[in-house]
Structure 1
Amino acid sequence: MLRTMLQSAQPAPDTGELTGVAGWAVGLMEAVGAPGAGLAIAAENLFPPIPSEVILPLAGLTAAAGGFTLLEAILWTTAGSVVGALLLYSLGRVLGHERLARIASKMPLVRSSDIDKTTAWFAKHGWKTVFFGRFLPIFRSLISIPAGIERMPVPLFLGLTAIGSAIWNTIFIMIGFTLGQNWHIIEPYMDWLQWVVIGAVIVLIVWWVVRRMLLNRREGKHLLHGE
């Protein structure tokens, strides 16, 4: 249904041949309908480099094409957001602060103090990080872990996650739904947006690794000189 609509959309770029994350998301939605959109968004929560900014407009477009209703698109993607966030929350809650700190201390370029800082930051800002974090790429996934470590009440966590995710998802789904047959207007930007998100993740990782290596080297010099 969706690929047929894309192929019939106006001219120039061949929008029926979507690739990368967009092509994967379309295939998933074609295979299982609205639950496929939910699965894609759950995966986005677990693997932040998968951009919801690409998947959600596609869900809206599918709804406009009659693949499923607009309400189904919003409900299923919000459910996917909650499930993905709950899995990460459970990871933090089951492992706990001390166990995660021990695991971190055995990993290269990671310190137990990183866990200390993250949980301290969460403890300071509380519920606001869970709600407003849903509007920030990458952060919306990672914030679930300290929420679990700090054992935020599950009903509160689920409520804040559901509301924040519903707002975020609805905005992008409505973009795709409103565009409808004019998909060709936004499609050329989808791959660009996908690579911008992935590129930003890579830059942040490289910056973090370099910074950590410099800190480790500095600490090594201090130990060598007995400081």
Structure 2
Amino acid sequence: MKLLELIESLFAHYGYLVLLIGLPLDAIALPIPPGNTTLTYTGYLSFKGILSLPSALAAAFAGAAIGMTVTYWIGYKLGMPLIERYGKWLLLKPEYLTKTRRFYDKYGNRLLLFSCFIPGVRQFIGYFAGIVRVPYRDFALYGYAGSALWVLAFVGVGYLFGEQWQLAFRWLEQSLKYLSLGVAAALVLILSLKWRGRRLRARLDKLKGEADG
């Protein structure tokens, strides 16, 4: 059975429960059915009048929020104890987590806000935020806002483009893929430049120390 046929069958049998159950599964990293496709098809069904747009948006947001909340608390309650016990076997030293938390303190809220749009990050960000002990209030503020933007964007595409939703969806997915690759490349470049800068400063400090000595 093709993916779209599967989603159609699920909606026919379960209606809004597809959003309340499917989107949390997508967040937990079991994308059956995939979140982006499900949301866009939801918008199309709303365009056709099969689903109520306000009810669909509410169910989709609730499902996305449930998924983020579950992954956050799994990471918060289980992630750190597992890392403390088995981290050395996974090369996860405490200082790495400290550096990761510093990175999150600097960029994390913005990442949370747009994480749902980045393939792979959406399924990981909740666990990550829990593991590094991001305060739940901060996580909820930015994470739920990001979930709302994600839901509105993809449901909106399906609703606004109607019969052409699949064409618009492919364009949006392709654009997000290129954007994600660009952001990843920029991050790698920035981190590489910072690493080289630290090495250069260390060498200069060493030469200065030898000259003073």
Residue 159 (structure 1) shift = 2.5
Q: Describe how 1:87-126 pairs up with structure 2 within 5 A.
A: 87-106=70-89, 110-113=90-93, 116=97, 118-126=100-108
Residue 85 (structure 1) shift = 1.0
Find the partner of 1:73 among 53, 56, 65: 56
Residue 47 (structure 1) shift = 1.4
Deviations 1:31-60 (A, max 9, x none): 221231232221111116664321211111
Residue 90 (structure 1) shift = 0.6
User: Where in structure 2 are there 5+ consecutive unaligned residues?
Assistant: 181-213
Deviations 1:83-113 (A, max 9, x none): 111111111111242432434445xxx4324
Cα distance between partner residues in 1 of 2:163 and 2:143: 32
Cα distance between partner residues in 2 of 1:44 and 1:74: 17
Cα distance between partner residues in 2 of 1:87 and 1:38: 13
Find the partner of 1:59 among 42, 45, 62: 42
- In structure 2, relative to structure 1, the CA distance for the partners of 1:181 and 1:28 (3 Å cut) is same
Higher alpha-carbon Rg? 2
Contact in 2 for aligned 1:60/1:173 (Cα 8 Å) = yes
Q: Describe how 1:34-53 pairs up with structure 2 within 5 A.
A: 34-47=16-29, 51-53=34-36
Letter in 2 for 1:143: I
| DSSP-derived class of the 1:140 partner | coil
Cα distance between partner residues in 2 of 1:29 and 1:119: 40
Deviations 1:169-217 (A, max 9, x none): 1111111112323457558x59xx69xx8xx9xxxxxxxxxxxxxxxxx
Residue 140 (structure 1) shift = 2.1
Q: How many residues align?
A: 174
Matched, 1:151 2:133: yes
**Percent of matched pairs sharing the same residue:** 24
Cα distance between partner residues in 2 of 1:83 and 1:157: 13
Residue 81 (structure 1) shift = 1.1
TM-score, normalization by structure 1: 0.63
| DSSP-derived class of the 1:112 partner | coil
Cα distance between partner residues in 2 of 1:141 and 1:184: 23
Cα distance between partner residues in 1 of 2:111 and 2:30: 17
Partner of 1:175: 157
Cα distance between partner residues in 2 of 1:120 and 1:98: 20
Matched, 1:83 2:63: no
TM-score, normalization by structure 2: 0.67
Partner of 1:132: 114
Contact in 2 for aligned 1:118/1:146 (Cα 8 Å) = no
Contact in 2 for aligned 1:92/1:148 (Cα 8 Å) = yes
RMSD, aligned CA:
3.2
Residue 139 (structure 1) shift = 0.9
| DSSP-derived class of the 2:119 partner | coil
Cα distance between partner residues in 1 of 2:138 and 2:162: 36
Cα distance between partner residues in 1 of 2:108 and 2:165: 40
